[in-house]
Amino acid sequence: MAPNMLSQALPIDVGIGAPLLEVRGVVRSFALPRSGFAPASRVQAVTDVSFSIAPGEVLGLVGESGSGKSTLARLVMRLLAPDHGSVFFEGRDLAALVGADLKRFRGTVQMVFQDPYASLNPRRNVGQAIDEVLALHGGQNRAERHVLAGDLLERVGLGRSDIARRPHEFSGGQRQRIAIARALAVKPRVLVADEPVSALDVSVQAGILALLRDLQSSFNLAMLFISHDLGVVELMADRVMVLYLGRVMEVASVRSVFREPRHPYTAGLLWAAPGARRRRGQPVLLKDEIPSPADPPSGCVFRTRCPFAQSECAQSVPPLRTVRPGHQIACLRDDLALEAPGPHA
């Protein structure tokens, strides 16, 4: 490897300070297909979501399918615009970025998608896939880009000889490593990882997670790590935000969420995870199926599946409130003694 070339492509330590990325009250809805003469309707994908990520911090985002995780990722990337609310990067509203400022943002916030094969052009070899990004953002000449592409491939556990191969010649785990190398090439400070291992065999997931954790630590990357797998989030994240039908249910450190959840939905997810074992108390079991996002329940959107719901839960939307330092929940009840399961088998 040529360390001098690779060091030019990867971020330096920026330290912990003010939020690097901040989301304030974002709302995003989508139009539903019109049926006959019925009036057009919309589904609310994300509702009044706020959070921040500091330099070098990993925020885990969890929730069932349809909770709004991928929509939120695309809002952060400015692949979608919010209906209301704002997303800020280094204190600047993404909606105001144009021209060179927008191009610079595209280079500092990168995304690793769920399906590595779909995110790579099958007509281009690995070197071309990385070179295209470097030519747009890096400023190196062709020879320098070729060397740097080899450096990046070696950094993610592949070889320089792989540079001329096409995506179909690699396994799923190798393709995800290529996608990570391509994301690293543009000097990112924030990495949005949207279910980066869910499409991979269990046997290769651990290697990709170890790689992401190593890169995040080595280069002080901030990361929004999205997954439905609680065990993966526990391994990767510093803090966890739990979404349900587009609303935030709980935000806290990994330790607090996994040992002392305060929201019934979070506790239910923990008890439903494979390998959860009874430690003490009663399991928290989620009722019924998740409602349609097009017709969410009144009041607390979780109430129809909550074993502790009361009549007042249907009357008002619970605000996100602080129950102890660094720990917030959106629940009207303060009298719940929730138990997390013991270590997974």
Residue with tokens 């909606």, as numbered in its chain: 95
Rounded average pLDDT over 33-59:
86
Query: Where along the chain do its domains lie?
Result: 3-31+42-237, 260-329
Q: By CB neighbour count within 10 A (0-12 exposed, 13-18 middle, 19+ buried), where does 206 fall?
A: middle
Average predicted confidence (pLDDT) for the chain = 88
Q: What is the pLDDT of residue 203?
A: 84
DSSP assignment of 175-234: HHHHHHHHHHTT--SEEEEESTTTTS-HHHHHHHHHHHHHHHHHHT-EEEEE-S-HHHHH
Q: What is the helix (H) or strand (E) element at residue 250, kind and residue range?
A: strand 247-253
pLDDT in tens, 4-23: 444 443 333 333 457 999 99
Model pTM score: 0.89
- H helix runs in 68-201, sequence order: 69-76, 99-108, 126-137, 142-155, 172-184
Residue 70 has pLDDT above 50, yes or no: yes
Q: How is residue 77 annotated by DSSP?
A: T
Q: Return the half-sphere exposure (C-beta side, CA atoms, 13 A cut-off) of residue 288.
A: 9
| Residue 156 · residue 162 · CB < 8 Å | no
CATH topology of domain 3-31+42-237: Rossmann fold (3.40.50)
Q: By CB neighbour count within 10 A (0-12 exposed, 13-18 middle, 19+ buried), where does 117 fall?
A: middle
Q: How many degrees, rounded to 5, is the angle at CA 196 between CA 122 and CA 226? A: 140
pLDDT in tens, 221-263: 999 999 988 989 999 999 999 999 999 999 999 999 999 999 9
Q: How many degrees, rounded to 5, is the angle at CA 108 between CA 85 and CA 49? A: 20
| Residue 199 · residue 172 · CB < 8 Å | yes
Q: What is the pLDDT of residue 306?
A: 94
Rounded average pLDDT over 87-99:
95
